[in-house]
Structure 1
Amino acid sequence: MNSKIDFINGETNKSLIKMFAPLMVGMIMLMIYNMVDGLWVGNLLGELGMSALTAGTAIVLFLNSISMGVGNGISVMIANLVGADDRKHIPGAVATVIAMSTFFSVVLFILGEVLVDPILALMGTPEIIFSDAATYLKIYLLGNAALFIYMVFTSIFRAFGDPMFQMKGMMLTAVFNAVADPFAIKVYGLAGAAIVTVASEVLCLVYAIIYHKKKKMFSMDLKKINMNDAITMVCLSVPTTVQSIMPPLSSAFMISFISSFGMNTIAGFGVARNLELIMFMPTTGMCMAVTSIVGQCVGAKRHDRAMDYLKSSMIIGGSLIAITSVLVILFSGQLTAVFGQGVEVAQVVSRFFSIISIGYVLYMLTSCMQGYITGVGKPGMAMVLLILYYIMFRIPNAYIFKQLFGLNGVWFAFLISHILSVIVAFAMVSYIQKTYSAEYRICHKLGA
């Protein structure tokens, strides 16, 4: 029942890298998985196909973010039990989260199918691409329930210090998607990309079941499903889910802001969002790693170790993204051609990255602190951080700057949100540290 990696007694950087490296590879595979649709659609269906996919992708990312958000809450919950070595409690807790997640995924599927058209209309999706975008999403939703349960399994394995499952699962589906996509798109158009995605999501779930039966790292007891664990899951997962849906929700608003600038701009934003995954996926992987590790440290009552991991993650993650972002910014124009887009779209993409620039390093630092704040059991505080980040700091500024500076003003709003958010995150972490220091002094005096 012990963690596969000794986060409490092991060397900080080494233990962090053991956790982060497979998660980063898994996130890169997820990036490839998400980019494959864009690559094949852009090259086979042109700018209209790419624009329709971009409109649909905003909602897909929203659904994926809900899965990741619920998973992060579950990871903190289980990691606390693992860190505390609470062997009796774990089977019932695992059974509870899987049962609740299954129910919620079905509800989400039904709501999604009903609300696809109204949401696309609310986003201001142009009529010329509306039908294709709606069809893509309605097919995609068929497999989303399987993906949701798969993400729950990845979260449980992360809590036990096993990041390999997520990496291997994403490798499998990325390869399947890359091979099957062109054939399905040629036959069924944009709907073909959705069909392959559904098949890959079902494949994910099948792999999760096989991996669990083989590793037997944890057990679940359906007879021990209980209300206390259900309440704990909800209390942790609601704020972590709100955290996760902020980026795609913000992206949907941004699409509504830029839609008036024409098809080239929408396609350019779609390409830019795909290229951003090169920075976002490692950042998400680091946030997941920090959340699970800190959750274990808190369960073991080692807040000092939790802070060590935060510092290490900021140094390692910040350095990695600094190098990566420079390469993406320098070659963003050329990379646009890979998606089958022309010079005008490439100009939009190049300008987007040149303005945001240093923002991606700040994004990594903020995400590390978000993972720490969530892992110490304060997901509500991290939720506030993300609401400020993606809604309060970004959307009003985008609206105002659009009126003043046009499209460049929208891009500047991204950069401003990165700057303001890292400042707020530092303030939150400082507050948490002061709180724990005060609690430690009180306990030390009482002990004395």
Structure 2
Amino acid sequence: MKSKVDFINENTTRALMKLFIPLMLAMTLTMAYSMVDSLWVGNLLGEAGMSALTASTAIVLIMNSLSMGVGNGVSVMIAQRVGAKNTVGVKRAAAVVMIVSLVFSGAICLVGELASEYLLTAMGTPAEVLTEAVSYLRLYLIGNVALFLYMQFTSIFRAFGDSVFQMKGMLMTVIVNAILDPIMINWWGFNGVAIATVISEFVCLAYAFAYHYKKKWFSFDFKAMTWEDVKTMGRLCVPTSIQSIMPALSSAVMITFVNPFGLTALAGYGVVRNLELIMFMPTNAMSMAVTSIVGQCKGAGRIDRAGDYCKKAMLTGGVLIGLVSALVICTSPILSGCFGQGAEVGVIVAEFFHIVSIGYVLYMLTSCIQGYITGIGRPEKAMLLLIAYYIIFRVLPALMLKHIFGLSGIWFAFLVSHILACVLAFVLLQISDKIFLKPVKNT
């Protein structure tokens, strides 16, 4: 069983880059995919359309994050078996992943359809855009089943060291969505955005099946599935799912804090969240790369190399995100205009990025440590780190600071969470992982 990149024997920096660069390109396309809807809605439907999209996509982000979170657990599950050269175990695990994912995503779709209006109302969605937001969410949930299954394919391929699939799949999705958005908006108005998204997601899933049929990196052994494999998937995927939804869940809560400040503030936060995708792009890619690589190293009994990979990731990622952050901070007022928003929204966006600034570098360091802890098979510790990050360190300060500084106080809460979470991440390593603290070998 040979992976495309030899994480165990190849130079760590070179092997890391071979996985990280294609993943970052895939994340760039993911960013583009997420921003396409906002660009078309902002320019064709104005501030009201952007506000409706912002309100509904808070829950969409939770759904997307859940699929990625399950995928991170799946990646660890498969990668450890790939590293241990357990071909039979990979076949069983792949079958379990597909069956469980289909049942789980179907259940999520059904619950979401029934609870959409209640959830958006509870979040304080303005009455002027509630109907549009509910309609968008209900349509989107249909495509979420396809997206969920697609993300599990990407995670399995990534566990083998194949990151090209995710890049190609996202490129196809971006192109389809970008072409369909203006057409569907012209035909069905705001609902057309969701219809275009659903179509693009099913196209992406079809591509996943075609890619699997061509490459045959693994096969599914449905007859050999065991409850032990299901339990293993649950043990890994439940903590990674909670990890992954924390940012999106926190974002949904933060929207309830922003809503009382009016449609302009909500539209500004919608632009902020889209521009933040630029910062999250390299960070998420590096975290996923570290998780998959460390999983293989752990399966092969080379935990020393796992620590080396994480250190290289923090150094490379920290420098990269620093440069990207500086670029976005300097150009944020101009970039906000690309979404068809006025000067007032631009002021809100610029203030956010000037306050948060250095927080994105700290976010990169924290995410690398999170990926390392998850990859070695301790997702529950990474889960606790993320709960502290996005609930204790962000929501609670926002709850207090908004009464003192208004909307700016909410922005300050983001910076506070980045600082405190980074400190906690390094403390967790100091306490629990002596292997990681050993000097890096020249590998």
Please report the TM-score for the alignment, with normalisation by the length of structure 2. 0.98
8 Å CA contact retained: 1:333, 1:349: yes
How far, CA to CA, are the matches of 2:186 and 2:437 in structure 1?
61
Corresponding residue of 1:445: none
Residues 1:209 and 2:209 are matched in the alignment: yes
Contact 2:74 2:156 in 1 (8 A): yes
Q: Find out whether 1:120 has 2:146 as its counterpart.
A: no
Aligned pairs for 1:296-307 within 5 A:
296-307=296-307
**C-alpha separation in 2, matches of 1:12 and 1:432:** 23
Q: Residue in 2 aligned with 1:53?
A: 53
Contact 1:44/1:186 (<8 A) preserved: no
| Residue number in structure 2 paired with 1:389 | 389
The corresponding residue for 1:246 is 246
1:163-209 deviations in Å (ceiling 9; x for gaps): 00000000000011111111111221111000000001101110000
User: What SS does the aligned partner of 1:89 have?
Assistant: helix
Q: Deviations over 1:409-441 (max 9, x none)?
A: 100000000000001111112233227889xxx
- Is 1:433 aligned with 2:442? no
- Hey, what's the Cα distance between the residues in 2 that align with 1:401 and 1:290? 35
Distance in 1 separating the partners of 2:56 and 2:401:
26
Instruction: Give the length in aligned residue pairs.
Output: 438
> How far, CA to CA, are the matches of 1:379 and 1:433 in structure 2?
14
Amino acid at match of 1:111: V
SS in 2 for 1:219: coil
Match in the other structure for 2:332: 332
Find out whether 1:10 has 2:10 as its counterpart: yes
Q: Deviations along 1:123-168, whole A, 9 cap, x unmatched? A: 0001000000000000001111011000000000000010000000
Q: Which residue of 1 aligns with 2:441?
A: none
Q: CA deviation at 1:2?
A: 1.9
Instruction: Give the 3-state SS of the residue equivalent to 2:162 in structure 1.
Output: coil
1:290 and 1:368 in contact (8 A); partners too: yes
Of the structure 1 ranges 86-95 and 397-406, higher mean CA displacement relative to structure 2 is found in 86-95
User: Which residue is equivalent to 1:177?
Assistant: 177
In the TM superposition, structure 1's runs of 4+ consecutive aligned residues that sit over 4 Å from their partners are 435-438
Distance of 1:267 and 1:131 partners within structure 2 = 17
Q: Does the 8 Å contact 2:307/2:435 carry over to 1? A: no
Tell me the residue number matched to 1:108: 108
Deviation at residue 225 of structure 1 after TM alignment: 1.3
- Distance (Å, rounded) in 1 between the aligned partners of 2:431 and 2:201: 41
Determine the C-alpha separation between the residues in 2 that align with 1:345 and 1:177: 26
What's the counterpart of residue 150 of structure 1?
150
TM normalised by structure 1 equals 0.97
Asked if structure 1 preserves the Cα contact closer than 8 Å seen for 2:304 and 2:436, the reply is no
Q: Is the Cα–Cα contact under 8 Å of residues 76 and 375 in structure 2 kept in the other structure?
A: yes
C-alpha separation in 2, matches of 1:114 and 1:431? 45
Inter-partner Cα distance in structure 2 for 1:428 and 1:215: 40
1:441 matched residue in structure 2: none
Aligned partners of 1:92 and 1:225 also within 8 Å: yes
Contact 2:82 2:159 in 1 (8 A): yes
Distance in 2 (alpha carbons) for counterparts of 1:323 and 1:337 = 22
- Secondary structure of the 2:112 match is helix
**Residue 362 of structure 2: SS of its match in structure 1?**
helix
Q: Which amino acid aligns with 1:433?
A: D
Instruction: Identify the range of structure 1 (30-39 vs 221-230) with the bigger mean alpha-carbon deviation.
Output: 221-230
Quick one: distance in 1 between partners of 2:141 and 2:302? 42
Three-state SS of the structure 2 residue aligned to 1:96 is: helix
**SS of residue matched to 2:301:** coil
What residue in structure 1 maps to residue 295 of structure 2?
Answer: 295
Structure 2 counterparts to residues 41-440 of structure 1, below 5 A? 41-434=41-434
Structure 1 gaps, min length 5? 439-448
Aligned-partner Cα distance in 1 for 2:34–2:321: 20
Q: Do the aligned partners of 1:51 and 1:266 also contact (CA within 8 Å) in 2?
A: yes
- Which amino acid in 1 is paired with 2:377? G
Answer whether contact 1:177 1:196 (CA < 8 A) is retained: yes
* Matches of 2:87 and 2:331, distance apart in 1: 51
Q: Distance in 2 between matches of 1:255 and 1:316?
A: 32
Letter of the structure 1 residue corresponding to residue 108 of structure 2: L
Superposed CA deviations along residues 240-288 of structure 1, whole A, max 9, x for unmatched, are 0000000111001111001111111000000000000001122111111
Instruction: Give yes or no for contact 2:429–2:436 (8 Å, CA) kept in 1.
Output: no
Equivalent residues of 2:106, 2:145 under 8 A apart: yes
Cα distance in 1 for partners of 2:160, 2:38 equals 34
Q: CA RMSD in A?
A: 1.1
Taking the aligned partners of 1:349 and 1:139, their CA distance within structure 2 comes to 29
Work out the CA distance in 1 between the residues paired with 2:422 and 2:70: 24
Distance 1:13 1:434 in 2: 22
Counterparts of 2:57 and 2:436 in 1: how far apart (Å)? 41
SS at match of 1:5: coil
Deviation at 1:226, TM superposition (A): 1.1
CA deviations 1:391-423 (Å, max 9, x no partner) are: 000011001000111111100000000000001
Mapped to 1, the partners of 2:36 and 2:288 lie a distance apart of 24
Following the alignment from structure 1 to structure 2, what is the Cα–Cα distance between the partners of residues 17 and 430?
A: 27
Q: Distance in 2 between matches of 1:88 and 1:191?
A: 45
Give the Cα separation in 2 of the matches to 1:101 and 1:312: 33
Q: % of aligned pairs identical?
A: 57
CA contact 2:333–2:346 (8 Å) conserved in 1: yes
Q: Deviations over 1:63-101 (max 9, x none)?
A: 000000000000000000001111222111111111111
Distance 2:364 2:8 in 1: 24
Aligned-partner Cα distance in 1 for 2:59–2:330: 29
In 1: Cα distance, 2:286 partner to 2:355 partner: 25
Q: Does 2:45 match 1:27? A: no
2:385 touches 2:424 (CA, 8 Å); kept in 1? yes
Q: How far, CA to CA, are the matches of 2:356 and 2:251 in structure 1?
A: 15
What SS is found at the alignment partner of 1:310? helix
